[in-house]
Amino acid sequence: MSRIIAIASQKGGTSKTTTCRNLATVLKEKGYKVLVIDSDNQANLTDCFGIEKPEQLEVTLYDLMEKVIMEEDLPKKEEYIITKEEIDIIPASIKLSDIEIKLVSAMSREYILRTIIDEIKDDYDYILIDSMPSLGLMTLNVLSACDSVLIPATAEYLSAKGLELLLKTIFKIKKRINKNIEFEGILLTMFESRTNLSKDILNMIKNSYGDYIRVFETVIPRSVKVGEANAKSKSIIEYMPNNKAAIAYNNFTDELLNYSDEDSSQIKEVI
């Protein structure tokens, strides 16, 4: 059975895309069959896998969603899935900016992405969906299609109370459109162990939410090499396996996999 994990937060720059890129690589190295879906019109994830000029691709996520909205058949899998480093990718392009407006008037508009995933999910162990930094209709589609949400967060994001809004949205989604949604947990990213802010925030978040949502023990440190790897369309795992962020992404993946179903955070109204 596949597990569908949404990587979400409504703020940009919290390492969503980087986490998706590197988690996919570690899972693949462990022998899992992985699909990643780029649901951000910025197409950063698509870029991180070295897919150039996605606006020239025949079929991207936008086209698939448009077909579902128009009640047309989807093309064959081979026509829209791109494979890089043995990881399957449904790419995005800037065209996806138009999807919100299309979704407004669509029937069952929260379930368009889910319809696409339902057709292919049996082929994968893990499906990771990289989200755009907003809580609009596209993100709603992501949250209604997933089994769980992983929230990468920087100290700044958490201190700005960005998490509360996201959690509230997820509670609403659980009530109304995806009652099985769970929290995968909160992953602290771009962590700077030398600054007190990061440490204070980690403690604060464990105290406030730790009883309800897993806060991963592993934190992803800030390293300029991560940016370099992204710019070269590589995972940090491959680019510099001994880098502290590469090691952290390996440890984080182990933590994620070792978490049993009984432990998984049932979403409760906590705020």
Ligand X SMILES: Nc1ncnc2c1ncn2[C@@H]1O[C@H](COP(=O)(O)OP(=O)(O)O)[C@@H](O)[C@H]1O
* Residue 243 makes contact with ligand X by CB under 6 A: no
Residues 6+ apart with CB under 8 A from 200: none
The DSSP H or E segment spanning 83 is: strand 82-84
SS3 128: strand
Taking CB under 6 A as the criterion, which residues in 32-51 touch ligand X? 44
Of the two residues 36 and 68, which places its CB atom closer to ligand X in the complex?
36
Of the two residues 13 and 74, which places its CB atom closer to Mg ion in the complex?
13
Among 2, 10, 17, 148, binds ligand X (CB under 6 A): 17
Among 2, 10, 15, 141, binds ligand X (CB under 6 A): 15
* Residue 234 makes contact with ligand X by CB under 6 A: no
Residues 6+ apart with CB under 8 A from 59: 75, 79, 80
Pick what 50 binds: Mg ion, ligand X, none; C-beta below 5 to 8 Å, kind-dependent: none
Question: How is residue 242 written in tokens?
Answer: 């001994």
Exposed e or buried b per residue across 88-114, where buried means at least 16 C-beta atoms within 10 angstroms of its C-beta: bbbbbbebbeebeebbeebeeebbbbb
Q: Lay out the site mask for Mg ion across 20-59 (x = CB under 5 A, - = otherwise).
A: ------------------------x---------------
Helix 16-29 to helix 244-258 angle (10° resolution) is 70
Pick what 245 binds: Mg ion, ligand X, none; C-beta below 5 to 8 Å, kind-dependent: ligand X
CB 35 within 8 A of CB 27: no
Least distance in Å: CB of 176 to ligand X? 26
SS3 161: coil
* Residue 14 makes contact with Mg ion by CB under 5 A: no
Least distance in Å: CB of 43 to ligand X? 11
The DSSP H or E segment spanning 200 is: helix 196-209
Q: Is 155 exposed, middle or buried (0-12, 13-18, 19+ CB in 10 A)?
A: buried
Pick what 227 binds: Mg ion, ligand X, none; C-beta below 5 to 8 Å, kind-dependent: ligand X
CB 220 within 8 A of CB 15: yes
Among 213, 226, 246, 267, binds ligand X (CB under 6 A): 226
* Residue 144 makes contact with ligand X by CB under 6 A: no
Q: Lay out the site mask for ligand X across 181-220 (x = CB under 6 A, - = otherwise).
A: --------xx-----------------------------x
Among 3, 16, 21, 28, binds Mg ion (CB under 5 A): 16
- Among the residue ranges 15-23, 58-66, 98-106, 173-181, the one whose residues contact Mg ion (CB under 5 A): 15-23
Question: Which parts of this chain interact with ligand X (CB under 6 A)?
Answer: 12-18, 44, 133, 189-190, 220, 222-223, 226-227, 230, 245
